[in-house]
Chain A
């Protein structure tokens, strides 16, 4: 009796889909106008020499060829990867460590956890402005603290050698709580049985962490890794407010370069080509991370 009913189901579903296809039209229109059209238009612009207030004409792949020889673009790309690597790895390590600490019970844990996640709630531009004041080499509180501890003052964002690590420091302070929250959620959902079995077998705390906690947490860590990577790649607001890409071009990441090309120099065609290349980079990185996640799950 059950088998014929199941066999009829696909036909009914097809019929159902034919009758109610227009239900998906609104969603389709939204996707088309908000996602597909802007993308198609960006591709179209990238094939033009397009200046705001100056007209446009078709140039084919010239903008992409220019990217191949544009040293400023190459350096911006390298800086983006350097910044992203640091701004992902450090929050991941500190976030996992923070989650392990806050997963334990201790007095005032709730208060400490709230204080820890406060930076995440702050507006990036406001955060950037406050950090900028603190980085002032002569009048900032950070150098005052360093000298108070007997350490030499730092130039922070005012030296090409230290500007990227300093910006990463702001990023770490701001976004480590997000990693911590994701991993903490994972820790709360872990089963207790493997730990009890490991305890009976005489496993040390480090062994339990390495062989039980970390493998079970891996899917959560990969999710945090994907979110952090995408966030770090598209970091713009804090960098722009704090350094505007300087000193010189020493903190000009791809987003700053893109912004300047599009909205300061009004080279919309060239900026669109940068967007396309940068998008492909993000897709490649996201695909790699998603593939990793599938492997971890498997």
Chain B
């Protein structure tokens, strides 16, 4: 007979104390009626990306659990934004559930009140499964999904952090340490640039519109951090904005490959995965193709992951995100909410993380040691994600004309890369051009 030790006794006591809560939880789980909306059909309009593919691939699970059928379509991002805006504006959208890029459409969706406030559904125990665990969503993600008036008209799904990818072999060849600040990044990138070998220290987005999110990474490190003040005044021609643009321009011009003023993420990805660039700052979702041995020369341990470097005043990384909303006009609101619970549930969020489809909005996925250990991504990748989540800040202003902002400021940034560009003048011209657009938009609000 084994002796009962103090530790065993304590464990048993803790178990007894926890028993009522566990029994209550199991009881509630059993009591929750997943079949309440059996026979209904939910139409989901999603953006075409690896996460939507995962949801569509596994939606049979949801259909078997609830008896609700799902008609899901996934449309390329830019076309999807136009489609849902036009359908919402028509007053009769063809979908019940919609995927929304918060960094582009949050304010537009919020201002027009196109989506239902999900807070009431979250707080309704007859509508929300006990294991939904809303507290598991990161605070930043929840804040990103919440409108200025306190309405939470979307449920966070995915958070995209801008991280710094680096080529371990190139850095090791010159004994260069991973830079912690933008100044260090410039020095390292400059040292690693050798055009005669078609080897460049840095690659990044230069194409108008696409380039603004990279430039924001630099601006977030300055004292002002944001592009628009809380009073909705443009801050894109200030001394901090000039510093960010100068840093962006000299990295692109002196350390980047020729022609990078026309580079979008796909050209950057190709250049980096072919081993031609030492550093690349972009969305965390590119880890999957970089680690794909069929496509990338750097797959299998040659890609390094680090948080975006710090600026002279602050240390942040750009945050972007997507979320799901339920159309205000939907006649199947209950079934749609069930779909949202499943889609943003812990199982799917873990799938996002381990497949490299993107960083989930829930914190629990990052704590799943077993899944992380068996992932094809190195631990450094997950650590970078966790650290990025602590310093993340929206990379684009929460205004309605975001695309016009990106086009106008983006043109100035493209021009800034050119040799001899007058950066303050370029920024002033773009700011003056966009200011009336922003003012008109705010007046309408």
A interface, CB within 8 angstroms of B = 51-55, 136-139, 155-159, 163, 243-249, 260, 263-266
Report yes or no: B271 in contact with A138, Cβ–Cβ below 8 A: yes
The 29 sampled A-B contact pairs (Cβ below 8 Å) are: A52-B86, A53-B85, A53-B88, A54-B400, A55-B444, A136-B270, A137-B259, A138-B271, A138-B274, A138-B276, A139-B270, A139-B276, A155-B258, A156-B259, A157-B262, A158-B261, A158-B262, A158-B263, A244-B207, A244-B209, A244-B264, A247-B414, A248-B208, A248-B261, A248-B411, A249-B208, A260-B403, A264-B407, A265-B403
**Interfacial chain B residues near A247, Cβ < 8 Å:** 206-208, 261-262, 414
Report yes or no: A246 in contact with B108, Cβ–Cβ below 8 A: no
Any A CB within 8 A of the CB of B89: yes
Chain B min CB distance to A264 (Å): 4
Given A52-B86, A244-B207, A249-B208, 8 other A-B residues pairs in contact with their CB atoms under 8 A: A53-B85, A54-B111, A137-B257, A137-B259, A138-B258, A159-B261, A243-B262, A264-B407
**Interfacial chain B residues near A136, Cβ < 8 Å:** 267, 270
CA distance A139 to B261 in the complex (A): 16
Any A CB within 8 A of the CB of B415: yes
**Interfacial chain B residues near A163, Cβ < 8 Å:** 262
CA distance A163 to B262 in the complex (A): 10
Any A CB within 8 A of the CB of B57: no
With known contacts A53-B112, A247-B262, A139–B82 Cβ distance under 8 A:
no
Any A CB within 8 A of the CB of B404: yes
CA distance A138 to B207 in the complex (A): 17
Report yes or no: A260 in contact with B407, Cβ–Cβ below 8 A: yes
CA distance A136 to B203 in the complex (A): 13
CA distance A243 to B266 in the complex (A): 12
CA distance A137 to B206 in the complex (A): 14
| Partner of A155 from B78, B259, B403 at Cβ < 8 Å | B259
CA distance A156 to B271 in the complex (A): 16
Report yes or no: B260 in contact with A51, Cβ–Cβ below 8 A: no
**Interfacial chain B residues near A156, Cβ < 8 Å:** 259
Report yes or no: B82 in contact with A263, Cβ–Cβ below 8 A: yes
CA distance A156 to B111 in the complex (A): 42
| Partner of A139 from B86, B274, B415, B444 at Cβ < 8 Å | B274
Report yes or no: A264 in contact with B257, Cβ–Cβ below 8 A: no
With known contacts A53-B89, A139-B274, A265–B444 Cβ distance under 8 A:
no
- Binary contact track B91-132/A, C-beta < 8 Å → 1, others 0: 000000000000000001001101000000000000000000
CA distance A263 to B81 in the complex (A): 9
**Interfacial chain A residues near B414, Cβ < 8 Å:** 246-248
Chain B min CB distance to A86 (Å): 20
**Interface of chain A, helix or strand or loop or mixed?**
loop
**Interfacial chain A residues near B274, Cβ < 8 Å:** 138-139
Chain B min CB distance to A240 (Å): 10
CA distance A95 to B206 in the complex (A): 37
B interface, CB within 8 angstroms of A = 78, 82, 85-86, 88-89, 108, 111-112, 114, 198, 206-209, 257-264, 267, 270-271, 274, 276, 400-401, 403-404, 407, 411, 414-415, 441, 444
Report yes or no: B411 in contact with A53, Cβ–Cβ below 8 A: no
Of all chain A residues, which has the CB nearest B83? Answer: A263
Chain A min CB distance to B267 (Å): 6
**Interfacial chain A residues near B89, Cβ < 8 Å:** 52-53
Chain B min CB distance to A243 (Å): 7
**Interfacial chain A residues near B112, Cβ < 8 Å:** 53-54
CA distance A249 to B209 in the complex (A): 11
CA distance A244 to B403 in the complex (A): 13
Report yes or no: A53 in contact with B267, Cβ–Cβ below 8 A: no
Report yes or no: B258 in contact with A245, Cβ–Cβ below 8 A: no
Chain A min CB distance to B443 (Å): 11
Chain B min CB distance to A262 (Å): 9
Of all chain B residues, which has the CB nearest A158? Answer: B259
Of all chain B residues, which has the CB nearest A261? Answer: B404
Of all chain A residues, which has the CB nearest B417? Answer: A247
**Interfacial chain B residues near A139, Cβ < 8 Å:** 270-271, 274, 276
Choose among A137, A156, A157, A243 the residue with the greatest number of B CB atoms under 10 Å from its CB.
Answer: A137
The 3 closest A-B pairs by CB, nearest first: A158-B259, A158-B262, A137-B259
Chain B min CB distance to A211 (Å): 48
Chain A min CB distance to B197 (Å): 11
Report yes or no: A158 in contact with B208, Cβ–Cβ below 8 A: no
**Interfacial chain A residues near B258, Cβ < 8 Å:** 137-138, 155, 158
**Interfacial chain B residues near A264, Cβ < 8 Å:** 78, 82, 403-404, 407
**Interfacial chain B residues near A137, Cβ < 8 Å:** 257-259
**Interfacial chain A residues near B257, Cβ < 8 Å:** 137-138
Of all chain A residues, which has the CB nearest B433? Answer: A72
Chain B min CB distance to A206 (Å): 44
**Interfacial chain A residues near B267, Cβ < 8 Å:** 136
With known contacts A265-B401, A265-B404, A249–B270 Cβ distance under 8 A:
no
Choose among A53, A158, A245, A265 the residue with the greatest number of B CB atoms under 10 Å from its CB.
Answer: A53
| Partner of B114 from A53, A243, A265 at Cβ < 8 Å | A53
**Interfacial chain B residues near A248, Cβ < 8 Å:** 208, 261, 411, 414-415
**Interfacial chain A residues near B411, Cβ < 8 Å:** 248-249
**Interfacial chain A residues near B208, Cβ < 8 Å:** 244-249
Chain A min CB distance to B80 (Å): 12
**Interfacial chain B residues near A155, Cβ < 8 Å:** 258-259, 262
Chain B min CB distance to A254 (Å): 16
Chain A min CB distance to B87 (Å): 10
CA distance A214 to B441 in the complex (A): 58
CA distance A263 to B207 in the complex (A): 19
| Partner of B198 from A52, A53, A138, A260 at Cβ < 8 Å | A138
Chain A min CB distance to B416 (Å): 10
CA distance A249 to B403 in the complex (A): 14
**Interfacial chain B residues near A244, Cβ < 8 Å:** 207-209, 264
**Interfacial chain A residues near B407, Cβ < 8 Å:** 260, 264
